[in-house]
A and B are shown apart, each in its own frame.
Chain A
Amino acid sequence: MRKNFLAAITAALAAVLLAWLPAPAETVSWTAIRGARIVPVNGPVIEKGTVLIRNGVIAAVGSQVDVPASAWIVDGNGLTVYPGLIDALSTWGLPQAAQAPAQTAGRGAQQLPQLPQQQQPQQPQAQQPQARSRGPQDRPGTFTWVKAADQVQSSDSRLASARNAGFTTAVTFPRQGIVAGHGAIINLGGKTAGEMVVLPEAGLYLALRPSGYTGFPSTPMGIMAYFRQLWLDADHYRQALALYAADPVNIPRPAYDRALEGLMGVKRVLLPAPDPIQMERMVKLAADLKTPAVLYGVVRGYEMAERLKATGTPVILNVRWPAREPGADPEQEESYRELRIRDLAPTSPAALSAAGVKWAVSSDGLETPRAVLRALKQSIDRGLRREDALRALTLSAAEIYGVADRLGSIEPGKAANLVVATGDLFDDSTRVRMVFIDGVRYLPEPELPQPPAGAPGRGPSSEKGEEQ
């Protein structure tokens, strides 16, 4: 009787254990893109080869790859496979951030957006939504507890058009306030928002124009002084906490400070620098904050290359090339300086590459994701090498954010984020056939008309439901 009972228990336990054990080899899913031209970015082009994907991760790349029998085959004949494109500074996935003023090269009217629900003044004041900031202690426009990773919405309608253009990843940041919050690296597809997040902490977005508050600071110099004070306060907070931890009896307990907590362990800050003058200011500011900086909104990269290289500062280029506003006064002449900037801005990418500066690209200010590629095509026409353009959209972006081990090129071990197109990505006639995100295939979708994000005027581009 007992033996039977024990056998039954053992069998039951074994059944339970077996159910818990990892699935046997048959539940591994393989995908192979065969017979395609492959541009890995980290190595030479493979004219005809195979990309083998296992459970969403690249397993092998080459001209001779053994493909398991169970693999789902994608015929790559006549197609080119690239690493999925990365938007290095984005609001994709954060539909509410798109309403905040885009920090593009100083264009457009500045409007104060509505304050988000979570913003509250640090001081115990009356809870008025627009209480005027009277000094750094009021922590104006400071949202260090806001994390893009917490706010990602997979339902953002822009994700489809981004994928249609070949983007698989974006480094997306909240944009409200002057310390707008922490960005996250997200894939542009996934069943849930949580699945989309690749890295929840990509850096802290800082802006030099007042937004999200009234009062202090009202000027860029005020904002810079405020940042310095904030960082000093964080230092002091850290010291106070350490001292208290060592001696809780004699040292008074420091008050919890939400804004300063959010500053602990910030890996990098993003600062705006459209021109060499701003660049110098930001380089010095970053040194004062003792935090590595990435400069965004760069326009006059062609003049900044040397110095960027010397300071080892990576940049995110603004590729909305300055152009004459369509409705401008016909009798108003541009200045010599403006004309030169317009002429030379598209040569920035080549200049940065030539100087060895690490640069990536942002979709900020552009009406469609496809416009990013078109903008770089203009640079290619002016001498930028295609492989440098591609690298900026892929591996360089990953390197800037420290995720080059997982993204940015077609190498074994990296995520299967790929874009498969009918030809060279930068040619107007090329069409994107499909993208893979973590090995899941997405076909081009019809796009909904979208409001342009934060940019006045229209360029000559077409949009709205067209096949891009």
Chain B
Amino acid sequence: MRAPVLALTLFAGAACAADVVVIQNGTVHTVTKGTFRGSIVIRDGKIADVGEKVLTPPGARVVDATGKHIIPGIIDAHTHIALDSINESSVSVSSMVNVAEMLNPESVSIYRAMAGGVTVCNSMHGSANSIGGQNVVFKLRWGADARGLIFDRAKPSLKMALGENPKRQGSPQGLQIPGLQSPQNLRYPGTRMGVEDVIRDAFTRARAYQREWKDYEARRARGEKALPPRRDLELEPLVEVLEGKRLVHAHCYRADEILMLLRVFDDFNIRGVTLQHALEAYKVAREIAERGHAVSTFSDWWSYKVEAYDAIPYNAAILHRKGVLVSLNSDDAGGAELMRRLNAEAAKVMKYGGLSEDEALAMITINPAKQLQIDPWVGSIEPGKDADLVIYDRHPLSVYAKVEKVFIDGRQYFDRDEDMSRRPKIEAEKEGLRRKLQEQQKQAMPQNRRPS
């Protein structure tokens, strides 16, 4: 990446990661294999060993974690951070756009989220469309360029949305902005009925497109000269969904629309969907569990919209108890705010619903990993997985817990002490630059300048 960004964040020594790091003598929350006082050995970016007693290889850099707590890197399955553009809201089906193209590695949100313990995030297209654009999963490797951030092994996905957001532009009261209210500017759909129609119609067209291509290939195979169908970038991602090659994240709120969507997915044989927000999912938990779909939701948001009025902070607990895979998310867009406190948010499912510590931690680690289908590599502290680890100064499921260190792929990206000691240096550098620029500006003025 580039000098200014690096100057802000890389620090000597630890940045040039030793190949072997041992995080020693802390409370290790593996999430999947219990919690114990022990150590973690990192080698070549992966967790090589974890246990109460591990062998410390010679030459290893030792990180003393006495009194500290270590958890797997937090995974936020619903954000919109680090994107220069979030919502292609001009059309109801915008599956042709890809937010990965808008990933901005210089967005300071990446650093702040990572300083809050998030190591992977699913940054998504917005919810103004019944069928939105393509999303991007990336690791918060602050300092890397866009390509270096993207989590290659993650399956591609598509955003969808139900409810008030996608139908807002379908009514004159909708956006309440002058110029957008004339009938010719209304964008279908304006009702929940229309939302279902848009979705069914899109997938029906995708099926037809699939058939067209199969026909064309058959004719080619027979040696016929034929014009191939016109390639349609809107339909191709939908075909990928139908073929199981692309996951779906569907923003939804009300129980009735969730049920509608489940039936649509049944009809098109779409599986492994993650319902996003789904604040009334607790009302149809059984139907969701029966199909093996998952839910990613807020801990305790409610009442900001009519469709959020029946939201309850027990949503996650009910769903979990009824057999649904649940994760907690932030929906952070402009800046990283809630996502850097997901550890505390997870504690709320213990308060509201009485879930256990591991169940709570799972909601921000292994559960979202499974939803994004990246669990073979992240989401728990197990040998063989990526060394994405967060060290807290106390038990993480507490509002008082502070992140001290963050590792991604075995490399340390955040150190609170180092961050704090760097601050006066940056101020000094800025002051120096300001003075230098003032000097340069004086010199750049032409001699025969007259006041304008």
Interface set of A (CB-CB < 8 Å, partner B):
128, 131-136, 214-222, 224-226, 228-229, 232-233, 236, 239-240, 243, 247, 251, 276-277, 280-281, 284, 300, 303, 323-324, 333-334, 336-337, 339-343, 374, 378, 381, 428-429, 458, 460-462
Q: Which residues of A contact B91 (CB under 8 A)?
A: 134-135, 215-216
A221-B4 in contact (CB<8A) = no
Q: Which residues of A contact B430 (CB under 8 A)?
A: 333, 336, 339
| 18 residue pairs bridging A and B, Cβ less than 8 Å apart | A219-B102, A220-B102, A225-B98, A226-B96, A229-B96, A232-B233, A247-B225, A277-B104, A303-B3, A324-B437, A336-B4, A336-B426, A336-B430, A337-B106, A339-B437, A340-B433, A378-B444, A428-B446
Question: In the complex, A226 Cα to B233 Cα: how many Å?
Answer: 9
Q: Which residue of B lies closest to A307 (CB)?
A: B145
Asked if B88 is at the interface (CB within 8 A of a chain A CB), the reply is: yes
Question: In the complex, A462 Cα to B448 Cα: how many Å?
Answer: 8
**B251–chain A nearest beta-carbon distance, Å:** 18
Q: Which residue of A lies closest to B84 (CB)?
A: A220
With contacts A229-B96, A280-B145, A458-B452 taken as known, whether A428 is within 8 angstroms of B4 at the C-beta atoms is no
A340-B4 in contact (CB<8A) = yes
Q: How large is the interface on B (under 10, 10 to 19, 20 to 34, 35 or more residues)?
A: 35 or more
**Residue in contact with B88 in the complex, picked from A222, A280, A378, A381, CB distance below 8 Å:** A222
Q: Which residues between 77 and 98 of chain B lie within 8 Å of chain A, taking CB atoms?
A: 84-85, 87-91, 94, 96-98
Q: Which residues of B contact A334 (CB under 8 A)?
A: 434
B228-A221 in contact (CB<8A) = no
Question: In the complex, A239 Cα to B105 Cα: how many Å?
Answer: 39
Q: Which residue of B lies closest to A140 (CB)?
A: B90
**Residue in contact with A220 in the complex, picked from B85, B227, B447, CB distance below 8 Å:** B85
Q: Which residue of A lies closest to B432 (CB)?
A: A339
**Residue in contact with A239 in the complex, picked from B84, B228, B233, CB distance below 8 Å:** B228
Question: In the complex, A134 Cα to B373 Cα: how many Å?
Answer: 34
Question: In the complex, A132 Cα to B440 Cα: how many Å?
Answer: 48
B90-A374 in contact (CB<8A) = no
Asked if B116 is at the interface (CB within 8 A of a chain A CB), the reply is: no
**Residue in contact with B147 in the complex, picked from A135, A280, A303, A341, CB distance below 8 Å:** A280
With contacts A218-B90, A219-B85 taken as known, whether A251 is within 8 angstroms of B227 at the C-beta atoms is yes
A281-B101 in contact (CB<8A) = yes
B227-A221 in contact (CB<8A) = no
Q: Which residues between 97 and 150 of chain B lie within 8 Å of chain A, taking CB atoms?
A: 97-99, 101-102, 104-106, 133, 145-147
B441-A323 in contact (CB<8A) = yes
**A271–chain B nearest beta-carbon distance, Å:** 13
With contacts A232-B230, A277-B106, A280-B146 taken as known, whether A460 is within 8 angstroms of B85 at the C-beta atoms is no
Q: Which residues of A contact B433 (CB under 8 A)?
A: 336, 339-340, 343
A303-B2 in contact (CB<8A) = yes
**A112–chain B nearest beta-carbon distance, Å:** 10
Question: In the complex, A391 Cα to B4 Cα: how many Å?
Answer: 29
A-B complex: 6 closest residue pairs judged by Cβ atoms: A216-B90, A219-B85, A222-B88, A225-B96, A339-B433, A340-B4
B449-A460 in contact (CB<8A) = yes
Asked if B8 is at the interface (CB within 8 A of a chain A CB), the reply is: yes
Question: In the complex, A408 Cα to B239 Cα: how many Å?
Answer: 52
Asked if B231 is at the interface (CB within 8 A of a chain A CB), the reply is: yes
Q: Which residues of A contact B97 (CB under 8 A)?
A: 217, 219, 221-222, 224-225
Q: Which residues of B contact A219 (CB under 8 A)?
A: 85, 87-88, 97, 102
Q: Which residues of B contact A284 (CB under 8 A)?
A: 101
Q: Which residue of A lies closest to B99 (CB)?
A: A221
Q: Which residues of B contact A340 (CB under 8 A)?
A: 3-4, 433
Q: Which residues of A contact B228 (CB under 8 A)?
A: 236, 239
Question: In the complex, A460 Cα to B452 Cα: how many Å?
Answer: 8
Q: Which residue of A lies closest to B229 (CB)?
A: A236
Q: Which residues of A contact B452 (CB under 8 A)?
A: 458, 462
A251-B227, A374-B446, A429-B447 are known; give 5 further A-B pairs, CB within 8 A.
Answer: A218-B89, A219-B87, A236-B228, A340-B3, A462-B452
Question: In the complex, A336 Cα to B430 Cα: how many Å?
Answer: 6
Number of A-B residue pairs at CB separation under 8 A: 139
Question: In the complex, A229 Cα to B3 Cα: how many Å?
Answer: 36
A233-B233 in contact (CB<8A) = no
Q: Which residues of A contact B234 (CB under 8 A)?
A: 135-136, 229
B437-A276 in contact (CB<8A) = no
B145-A236 in contact (CB<8A) = no
B101-A221 in contact (CB<8A) = yes
Most buried by B among A324, A340, A343, A381: A340
A-side binding surface: helix, strand, loop or mixed? Answer: helix
Q: Which residues of B contact A217 (CB under 8 A)?
A: 88, 90, 97
Question: In the complex, A215 Cα to B89 Cα: how many Å?
Answer: 9
A215-B230 in contact (CB<8A) = no
**B205–chain A nearest beta-carbon distance, Å:** 12
A276-B2 in contact (CB<8A) = yes
Q: Which residue of A lies closest to B94 (CB)?
A: A222
**B394–chain A nearest beta-carbon distance, Å:** 32
**Residue in contact with B233 in the complex, picked from A220, A225, A276, A461, CB distance below 8 Å:** A225
**B157–chain A nearest beta-carbon distance, Å:** 15
Asked if B429 is at the interface (CB within 8 A of a chain A CB), the reply is: yes
Question: In the complex, A361 Cα to B89 Cα: how many Å?
Answer: 36
A428-B447 in contact (CB<8A) = yes
B146-A277 in contact (CB<8A) = yes
Q: Which residues of A contact B88 (CB under 8 A)?
A: 216-219, 221-222, 225
Q: Which residues of A contact B99 (CB under 8 A)?
A: 221
**Residue in contact with A339 in the complex, picked from B105, B232, B434, CB distance below 8 Å:** B434
**B428–chain A nearest beta-carbon distance, Å:** 11
Q: Which residues of A contact B173 (CB under 8 A)?
A: none
Most buried by B among A220, A225, A337, A381: A225
Q: Which residues of A contact B305 (CB under 8 A)?
A: none
Question: In the complex, A134 Cα to B188 Cα: how many Å?
Answer: 11
Q: Which residues of A contact B90 (CB under 8 A)?
A: 132-134, 215-218, 222
Q: Which residues of A contact B184 (CB under 8 A)?
A: 128, 131-132
**A332–chain B nearest beta-carbon distance, Å:** 13
Q: Which residues of A contact B356 (CB under 8 A)?
A: none
Q: Which residue of B lies closest to A467 (CB)?
A: B448
**B159–chain A nearest beta-carbon distance, Å:** 13
Asked if B222 is at the interface (CB within 8 A of a chain A CB), the reply is: no
Q: Which residues of B contact A276 (CB under 8 A)?
A: 2, 145
B102-A336 in contact (CB<8A) = no
**Residue in contact with B230 in the complex, picked from A236, A343, A458, CB distance below 8 Å:** A236
Interface flags for B1-38 (1: CB within 8 Å of A; 0: not) read 01111001000000000000000000000000000000
Interface flags for B413-435 (1: CB within 8 Å of A; 0: not) read 00000000000001001100110
Q: Which residues of A contact B303 (CB under 8 A)?
A: none
Q: Which residues of A contact B450 (CB under 8 A)?
A: 462
Q: Which residues of B contact A134 (CB under 8 A)?
A: 90-91
A243-B230 in contact (CB<8A) = no
**B227–chain A nearest beta-carbon distance, Å:** 5
**A286–chain B nearest beta-carbon distance, Å:** 13
A336-B3 in contact (CB<8A) = no
Q: Which residues of A contact B177 (CB under 8 A)?
A: none
Asked if B185 is at the interface (CB within 8 A of a chain A CB), the reply is: yes
Asked if B445 is at the interface (CB within 8 A of a chain A CB), the reply is: yes
**B179–chain A nearest beta-carbon distance, Å:** 8
A460-B445 in contact (CB<8A) = yes
Question: In the complex, A458 Cα to B445 Cα: how many Å?
Answer: 13
A132-B231 in contact (CB<8A) = no
Question: In the complex, A349 Cα to B83 Cα: how many Å?
Answer: 29
Q: Which residues of A contact B232 (CB under 8 A)?
A: 229
B446-A236 in contact (CB<8A) = no
Q: Which residues of B contact A216 (CB under 8 A)?
A: 88, 90-91
**B370–chain A nearest beta-carbon distance, Å:** 28
With contacts A217-B90, A222-B90, A276-B2 taken as known, whether A229 is within 8 angstroms of B446 at the C-beta atoms is no
A462-B446 in contact (CB<8A) = yes
Q: Which residues of B contact A247 (CB under 8 A)?
A: 225
Question: In the complex, A247 Cα to B434 Cα: how many Å?
Answer: 70
